[in-house]
Amino acid sequence: MTPTIDELNGTPCKTYLVIAGGEAALVDPLRDRLDTYRAELARRGVALRWVIDTHTHADHLMLTRDAKAALGAPFVMHTASPSPLVDRHVSDGDALALGGASLAVIATPGHTPDSMCLVTGGALLSGDTVLIGGSGRTDFPGGDAGAQYDAVTTRLFTLPEGTIVYPGHDYKGRATTTIGDERRHSARYAGRTRDEYVALMASLDLPMPDKVQLALQVNQSGFEPEEVGFPRVEEAAALAEITPAELAARLGGDAPPVLLDVREPEEFVGELGHVEGSLLVPLDALARRMPKLLGYADREIVVVCRAGARSATAGAILERAGFRDIKNLAGGVLAWRASGGPVCR
Which pairing describes strands 279-280 and 258-261: parallel, antiparallel, or unpaired? parallel
SS3 category, 72: coil
Distance CA 69, CA 74 (A): 9
- Read off the amino acid at residue 247: L
Which 40-99 positions form the footprint of Fe ion (CB under 5 A)? 57
How far is Cα 11 from Cα 167, in angstroms, rounded to an integer?
A: 12
Rounded distance, CA 27 to CA 76, Å? 9
Count of residues in contact with Fe ion, rule CB under 5 A = 2
Contact 55, 116 (CB under 8 A): yes
Say whether residue 319 binds Fe ion (CB under 5 A).
Answer: no
Closer by beta carbon to Fe ion, 94 or else 128: 128
- Of residues 145 and 318, the one with the C-beta less far from Fe ion: 145
Query: Which one of residues 28, 53, 128, 284 is an interface residue with Fe ion (CB under 5 A)?
Result: 128
- In one letter, which amino acid is 240? A
Integer Cα distance of 122 and 37 in angstroms: 24
Minimum CB separation of residue 312 from Fe ion in Å reads: 19
Q: Are 76 and 52 in contact (CB under 8 A)?
A: yes
Site for Fe ion in 224-263 (CB under 5 A): none
Nearer to Fe ion, 55 or 68 (CB): 55
Stretch that binds Fe ion, among 26-34, 35-43, 123-131, 219-227 (CB under 5 A): 123-131
Q: 13 or 258, CB closer to Fe ion?
A: 13
Select 57 or 188, whichever has its Cβ closest to Fe ion. 57
Which amino acid type is present at position 64? T
Closest distance of CB 140 from Fe ion, Å? 8
51 burial level (CB within 10 Å; 0-12, 13-18, 19+): buried
Q: How far is the CB of 60 from Fe ion (least distance, A)?
A: 9
Which residue sits closest to Fe ion, CB atoms considered?
128
Region binding Fe ion by CB under 5 A among candidate stretches 121-129, 202-210, 241-249, 280-288: 121-129
Closer residue to Fe ion, CB minimum distance, 65 or 169: 169
Q: Least distance from C-beta 264 to Fe ion, angstroms?
A: 24
What dihedral angle (degrees, nearest 10) is formed by the CA atoms of 142, 145, 149, 152? 40
**Which parts of this chain interact with Fe ion (CB under 5 A)?**
57, 128
